[in-house]
Amino acid sequence: MKQLHGVVPILPSIFHEDGAVDEPGFRRVLRYVLEAGAHGVAFPALASEFYALSDAERLRLTEIVVQDVGGAVPVVGTATAASPQAALELARGVAERGVDAVMVMPPFVMRDGPAATIALFSAIADAIDLPLVAQNAPPPLGSGHGIDFIRQLLTEVPNVRYVKEENMPGGQRITKLLTGAPPSLVGVFGGAGGRYLMDELARGAIGAMPACELTEVHVRIYDLNQKGDHAAARALYDRTLPLLTFQTVFRMDMTKEVLRRRGMIDSAHVRVGAVPLDAGDHAELGALLGGVADLLLAPATA
């Protein structure tokens, strides 16, 4: 099995203006992420609008990811769903399509508590022979489990080899989780768009799973940190923070608008929960992109 590490971006779902899936645009974004040096890719998660996709769309796009990556880096599929039964079916489906690991967040509409979460992960571990990633995200979509419970989950379901920890304060939680963690745990990833990347790495995270619009910069930060050049890594990190702060408000709308401006996709359409940018927001985003244009594989354009 391929071990996960480094920058593993969450791929967005790309849509036409009418809301239909844009497969060519999706493939262009995937190609960019690979050219940017990503150490792996993940799909679909929160930054993918997984909740707005049909199961058929999820499986079709996962199949495209596996095919286009062609084994170059690990592919993390997902099985987050509204019920344990749906999650188990999705886990089998993405495993059949050739992913290298499966990330799961407990059911996000109605929550049955810790015992049901352990039962869900146990059922998936019994059904597929792949390492599992437990995504511990905050409400409203995530369950926000405490670290003691995550440690219990790791102990009772050793196929859970990784944790993506996104609750705050993330750095403290990573430290607590890695203190006395069971040997089955390979590592912890940060999330939250990469906003806390330096602190997460300093505390022992093996990487991050951010949105993808700044993949080449996140890869450089990670690589510099691994080489011990923490000052250079932090200088790049500091330059990304204004954009990542902007993203906390506009989320997928911002990610897709950046990808559109960079020429990868035709539409920044968000199916559900859009937070549209107005003229002032577009101007601000242009200024922020201008501040990092020299770091990007292709210059951002207005």
Dihedrals φ, ψ of 159, to 5°? -70, -15
pLDDT tens, position by position, 36-55: 999 999 999 999 999 999 99
d(CA 102, CA 80): 9
Q: What is residue 4's predicted lDDT score, i.e. its pLDDT? A: 98
Q: What is residue 113's predicted lDDT score, i.e. its pLDDT? A: 83
Q: Where are the domains of the chain?
A: 6-229
Q: What is residue 112's predicted lDDT score, i.e. its pLDDT? A: 79
d(CA 36, CA 209): 14
Q: What is residue 300's predicted lDDT score, i.e. its pLDDT? A: 45
Q: What is residue 109's predicted lDDT score, i.e. its pLDDT? A: 73
Place of tokens 């039962």: 119
Averaged pLDDT, groups of 10, the chain, 302 residues long: 93 98 98 97 96 97 98 98 95 98 88 89 98 91 89 97 95 95 96 94 98 97 98 97 96 97 97 96 97 83 42
Q: What is residue 108's predicted lDDT score, i.e. its pLDDT? A: 77
d(CA 9, CA 216): 10
Q: What is residue 245's predicted lDDT score, i.e. its pLDDT? A: 96
In order of 166, 235, 267, the CA distances from 76 in angstroms are 17, 30, 25
Class for domain 6-229, per CATH?
A: alpha beta
d(CA 115, CA 207): 29
d(CA 161, CA 102): 10
Percent composition of the chain: helix, strand, coil (DSSP 3-state, to 5): 50, 10, 40
Q: What is residue 215's predicted lDDT score, i.e. its pLDDT? A: 97
What pTM was estimated for this model as a whole?
0.96
Q: What is residue 298's predicted lDDT score, i.e. its pLDDT? A: 74
In order of 20, 97, 149, 177, the CA distances from 10 in angstroms are 20, 18, 25, 23
